[in-house]
Amino acid sequence: MPQLSRDQVQKFEQDGYLVVRDVFRPVVDLDPVIREYEGVLDRLVVRLFECGEIASRYEELAFGQRLIAVQRELGRSLVQHFDFSLPKANIKADTPIWVGEAIFNALSNPRLLDAVESLVGPEIYLNPIHHVRMKLPEKAFNDKLRGQGSLGTTAWHQDNGVATPDADPTNMITVWFPLRDTPISSGPLQIVPGSHLSGLITHCPKNQVNVSIPPQLLDDQPMLSVPMKRGDALFLHKLTAHCSLPNLSDDIRWSFDLRYNPVGQPTGRDAFPGFIARSRRAPDSELHDASEWANSWFEARRRLAANGIPKAFNRWDANAELCA
């Protein structure tokens, strides 16, 4: 796709968000990701079944329903097995991560990078703060699953607020896109348009890794829900306040959220690896080898499991007045 128009860039700068239609070609760009994840789930289910942790392989079910059924029987989240980032704490030598070729191709998709270039410039770095989201339907939660990991709604936050302070000057943008249509009933994102103009808002720690904006700081703010079609992408300023709505559908809400910034700027998570996705100045510096990207994550996992994470990702004080 061509780069964003001047009007689109101005809208992004004014509102702190931009929905761009048809960034991805669903069959060409997204279906390989879905097929790759279907293989991940199939191998995982076989292993769990052979170990006696589940009583069925649920082979008759489609991906989302199969994932729901297995997690309900286990009583724990399996999303880390599909994520292409490590967790922010308690990393072990065998912590699951999935860094397959289809995922790499989605992160470095030329059509996506064309749009990103309009917002951060021609020297584009894939920031390592990125995740797959597989939100359960509200009706699928049982007592063991509720409150686990990223299975449910995401509280109000700014993406700058979950990065380390060294990245405060970084021109980081978020790209959020669904692998399936995400109407309101499926729990898309909700945003506060224009909130990026107010700067970094206080966040309160929920635990070692999760933070959120105190609700009173967003009282009386206009909130906009952003349903999305498969192939579309939502671009967010790093200071735009957003959350996710509850998934009231019958299937998982399945999406990616990615970050990009100019090459050479701090990522806000320097213990994790990123890569140069595009460089007009030095094209030879671009990474085009999916296995090299995967190995960078395996090496990071080995290092962090052995030595620990060198600095905390959470800058916020749980004893602050607004957090009491």
Whether pLDDT at 176 is above 80: yes
The reported pTM is 0.96
Give the per-residue pLDDT at 244. Answer: 96
Q: What is the pLDDT of residue 1?
A: 67
Q: What is the pLDDT of residues 43-77, one digit of tens each?
A: 999 999 999 999 999 999 999 999 999 999 999 99
Instruction: Show the tokens assigned to 197.
Output: 């103009």
Quick one: average pLDDT of 176-197?
A: 98
d(CA 299, CA 196) in angstroms, rounded, equals: 35
pLDDT, position 313: 79
For residue 249, what are the contacts with CB-CB under 8 A and spacing of at least 6?
137, 183, 185, 186, 187
What one-character DSSP code corresponds to residue 39? H
Residue of 145, 152, 147, 139 whose CA lies nearest to 73: 145
**What pLDDT digit, counting tens, does each position of 107-144 carry?**
999 999 999 999 999 999 999 999 999 999 999 999 88
Tell me the torsion sign for CA atoms 158, 164, 170, 173: negative
Residues 225-250 have pLDDT tens digits of 999 999 999 999 999 999 999 999 99
Distance CA 217, CA 213 (A): 7
Distance CA 216, CA 84 (A): 34
Does CATH number 2.60.120.620 belong to domain 6-27+84-323?
A: yes
* pLDDT band, very low/low/confident/very high, at 159 (cuts 50, 70, 90): very high
> Cβ distance 102 to 297 under 8 Å?
no
Mean pLDDT score of the chain: 95
> Averaged over 290-313, what is the pLDDT?
93
Residue 270 DSSP code: T
